[in-house]
Structure 1
Amino acid sequence: MSNIRLYDPFSIEPIGDMFQGMLRAMRGSGEPGFAFKVDVTESDKDYTVVAEIPGAKKEDISVSVERGTVMISAKVEKASEEKQGERVIRRERYSGSMQRAFTLDTPVDESKVDASYEDGVLRVLLPKAEATPQRKISIR
């Protein structure tokens, strides 16, 4: 009895790959170069977000924090070309944008958020807001 598995009709390799490709195209950003990876760590005082966004320019990256939701968006444009002599063998270009958003458990002090971008890596430091002391409400 312990070998019971849930049947997934999309798990068959060729069919699953086909549907994954269609779903990726419907979501937009079908190019794998547009996705960027994000790591979020938490300490007692702050959150740290590290996002790998290779090929993006600093001015094409946007970070916003509103009511505990962090939004990172980036526009990437790439072009590469391989030549043999005077003849072009392969030419690749793509451009697009990607965004990631997530909500944090603890409120963030939005006035103290710090972000830096170097060598394709975005680092965002999100200090936690000071906890407001519990206030006793008097009943009239």
Structure 2
Amino acid sequence: MANISRYDPFSMSRIDPFTDLDDFFKGFFVRPALMEGGAQAPLQIKMDVKENDNAYTIHADIPGVKKEDIQVSVDGNQVSISAETRSEKEEKEGEKVLRSERHVGKIARSFTLPHEVDDAQCQAKYSDGVLELTLPKKAAASAKKLSIQ
């Protein structure tokens, strides 16, 4: 036989007013640019991917990075872009830093394309903070028709 109990919506025994209220507002007043502990939120590489019959063209925004600090790897249809950002800290006497928002560290992004890429024909250009990748599609292997004996 089932135990049936009467539901009382105004019962205070089911609500702990302090923990429930704390959980409700947890993270509500945190600024979006900063995470707990004062660390800055990780940056992400923003990009556009375009496709035509022969190749993929990718434009990735990586501002403030030297082209020597950018690495691109292509493995089949998997593409990975990573860059290391550096900041030069120059402190002058009598000057104090009020706010510093420039990111220092490594940023990376990986993605998978629908078709395999011909990694021997790939090209990369970096100008004005934009990385342009031209990734030609690998020629599809033609299907071989078998004769049945």
> Structure 2-normalised TM-score?
0.67
Q: Could you say what secondary structure the match of 2:86 adopts?
A: strand
Q: Deviations over 1:48-99 (max 9, x none)?
A: 111110111111100010011000000001246697xx52132746420011
What secondary structure does 2:131 align onto?
Answer: strand
1:71 equivalent to 2:80? Answer yes
Q: Does 1:90 align with 2:102?
A: no
Equivalent residue, structure 1, for 2:11 = none
Contact 1:34 1:76 in 2 (8 A): no
After TM superposition, give the deviation of residue 14 of structure 1 in Å.
6.2
Distance in 2 of aligned mates of 1:115 and 1:17: 42
Structure 2: how far apart are the matches of 1:135 and 1:17? 63
**Alignment TM-score, normalising by the size of structure 1:** 0.70
Letter in 2 for 1:97: K
Residues 73 and 17 of structure 1: CA distance in aligned 2, closer, same or farther (over 3 Å): farther
Cα distance in 2 for partners of 1:77, 1:124 equals 23
Q: Give the secondary-structure state (helix, strand or coil) at the position aligned to 2:120.
A: helix
Asked whether 1:127 is paired with 2:136, we answer yes
The CA RMSD measured in Å over matched residues stands at: 2.9
Residue identity in the other structure for 1:121 = V
SS where residue 89 of structure 1 aligns? Answer: coil
5+ residue gaps, structure 2, are 1-23
What does 1:54-69 align with in structure 2 at a 5 Å threshold?
A: 54-69=63-78
Matched residues in 1 for 2:143 and 2:136: separation? 21
**2:148, 2:28 → 1: CA distance?**
61
Equivalent residue pairs, number: 120
Of the three residues 6, 10, 15, the one matched with 2:27 is 15
The structure-2 alpha-carbon separation of the partners of 1:117 and 1:136, relative to structure 1 and needing over 3 Å to count, comes to: same
| Structure exhibiting the larger radius of gyration computed from Cα positions | 2
Q: Deviations over 1:100-137 (max 9, x none)?
A: 00000011111000001111110000011112211113
Greater fraction strand: 1
Tell me the secondary structure at the aligned position of residue 107 of structure 1. Answer: coil
1:49 aligns with 2:61: no
